[in-house]
Amino acid sequence: MTIQRVALLSVHTSPLAPFGGKKTGGMNVYVRELAYELGVRGVDVDIFVRRTSSDEPPVDSRIHPRVRVVYLEAGGVRPLAPDELFPHLSEFTARLMAFAAREGLRYDIVYAHYWLSGWVGQKLKEAWGVPFVQMFHTLGQMKRRIDAADNPFTLHERVNTEMAIVDWADAIIAATPAEQAQLLWLYRAKRRKIVIVPPGVNVERFFPQDKASARACLGFDACHLLLFVGRIEPLKGLDTILEALKVLKQTHPELIQNLCFAVVGGQLGAGDTELERVQALAETLGVAHVVRFIGAKDQSELPYYYAASTAVIMASDYESFGMVALEAMASGTPVIATQVGGLAFLVRDNETGYHVPVRDPVQLAHRIHDLLSDPKKQREMGENASYLAQDYAWSRVADRLLDLFAVLKARYPRRA
């Protein structure tokens, strides 16, 4: 059964937002790249997003001629944190349904991303009589176990909603077997509902390039470049990376003299308190001279940073998948990562990079030293990483999802 039109829900963040902002990360890339691939296949896609600024047009078609980002007002036109959006979901849903009715649109499938979108997805399923597919990207139960400082009331509300979504959804997309296990164990999800489909990577954008040329282009001519890409938040483990640099400074001072660490992400000069805390920590640890805070960058700029890097460092406490690791690997760059979530499956220890324990700066420093001091190992890992990344091309991901959508659509009665 052919899929002709898909409603993608990304309530709290736009797929067109720059990567590495407070609310932007792998999920934004996922929605944008998947929508593009569906558009290439002749599927019409509407991505519904909450409007946060008067600069955002009602409809934006930059991704692909068949793909529209539709901005809807809910709770006023202003930035709101994800935790503040739940009371406005009814308004968002009503405006979405009004948009579809006004344009006479019928969707074959609703594909929701993150728990806020899942609440909306169920309402659309009830109103339209179409299948509803959910991808959480991160799980409240996991955040509750890892980040005890998070708002307990908000997490309670989130987890309760996620539990309901697990029952409501016709299918749940898990990025890895680890996420499948978490859904089964923590949410009592039905195994038959869970389909493991990993996110993809744009292998036409991310591919091996000449490292020296990329470094010269970015102004990192005479140094080994270590790279962090992502949101600036405690769960990402930037503290551990900075502490590892301090360890290297103490144990291998000759190495630190020829080392740069670039942090791509965060809002420079915009009162980003977590970014300011990390910058102050770099000063306190005595490694600020080797750290360069770049700020958020668009996806079009990231290939140069990956290509220029000797290694990408991901010291996260929790990663549902780790799309940054996949982009780095596609670029031929080894990844040193904690063995958590998707990183445990994606990064192959001693083959495409190294695994390190969570919150262990000494082991991280040891692995950084191992890699930087062995150029042959760098080349071998980079080649292995690039080869493995080909299995995750977005074209393959889109085909698998379309097959699933068609099966789900066939189970629903035809609408008049």
Asked if residue 97 belongs to a domain, the reply is yes
Checking if the pLDDT of 150 tops 60, the result is no
| Cα separation values, 402 from 5, 70, 377, Å | 11, 22, 39
| Domains: count for the chain | 2
138 & 268 share domain:
no
Report if residue 302 sits inside a domain.
yes
Question: Is residue 102 domain-resident?
Answer: yes
Q: Are 22 and 135 in a shared domain?
A: yes
Same structural domain for residues 405 and 347? no
In a domain, 166, yes or no: yes
Please report, for the domain that includes residue 176, its CATH number: 3.40.50.2000
Beta-carbon neighbour count of residue 5 at 10 Å? 17
| Confidence at 19, pLDDT banded by 50, 70, 90 | low
**Distance between CA atoms of 10 and 8, rounded to whole angstroms?**
7
Q: Are residues 88 and 224 located together in one domain of the fold? A: no
Give the number of other CB atoms < 10 A from CB of residue 352: 25
Read off the tokens for 23: 């609310």
Q: Sign of the CA dihedral 233, 24, 173, 394? A: negative
**187 and 279 in a common domain:** no
245 and 215 assigned to the same domain: yes
Digit-coded pLDDT (tens) for 293-306:
999 888 889 999 99
Element (H or E) spanning 337, and its range? strand 335-338
The residue whose two tokens read 């692909």 is 64
Q: Which of the residue ranges 24-28, 111-115, 150-154, 180-184 would you say has the lowest mean pLDDT?
A: 150-154
In a domain, 365, yes or no: yes
pLDDT digits (tens, 9 = 90+) for 199-253: 999 999 999 999 999 998 998 877 899 999 998 999 999 999 999 999 999 999 9
CB 115 within 8 A of CB 162: yes
Quick check: is 324 in a domain? Answer: yes
The letter for the amino acid at 281 is L
Whether 20 has a pLDDT exceeding 80, the answer reads: no
326 confidence band (pLDDT: 50, 70, 90): very high
How confident is the model over 367-371, as a mean pLDDT? 97
pLDDT the model gives residue 213: 92
pLDDT number for residue 337:
98
Percent of the chain with pLDDT over 90: 85
Q: Give the tokens for residue 36.
A: 């593009």
Q: Are 377 and 407 members of one domain?
A: no
Determine the pLDDT at residue 407: 97
What global pTM score does this model have? 0.91
- 190 and 59, same structural domain? yes
List the one residue out of 353, 228, 355 whose CA is nearest residue 290.
228
- Say what the pLDDT of residue 28 is: 92
Q: Helix 26-40 crosses helix 323-330 at what angle (to 10 degrees)?
A: 60
Is the domain of 193 the same as that of 218? no
Of residues 268 and 115, which shows the higher confidence score?
115
* Residue 206 covered by a domain: no
Whether 151 shows a pLDDT value over 70: the answer reads no
Residues 255 and 137 in one domain: no
Q: Three-state SS for 170?
A: coil
Q: Are both 141 and 161 inside the same structural domain? A: yes
Residues 127 and 269 reside in one and the same domain: no
Domain hosting residue 23, numbered range:
5-200+393-411
| 27-78 pLDDT, tens digit each | 999 999 999 999 999 999 999 999 999 999 999 999 999 999 999 999 999 9
- CA-to-CA distance for 165 and 297, rounded, in angstroms? 33
Q: What is the pLDDT of residues 4-14, one digit of tens each?
A: 999 999 999 99
Task: Identify whether 382 is part of a domain.
Answer: yes
How many of the other CB atoms lie within 10 Å of CB of 59? 11
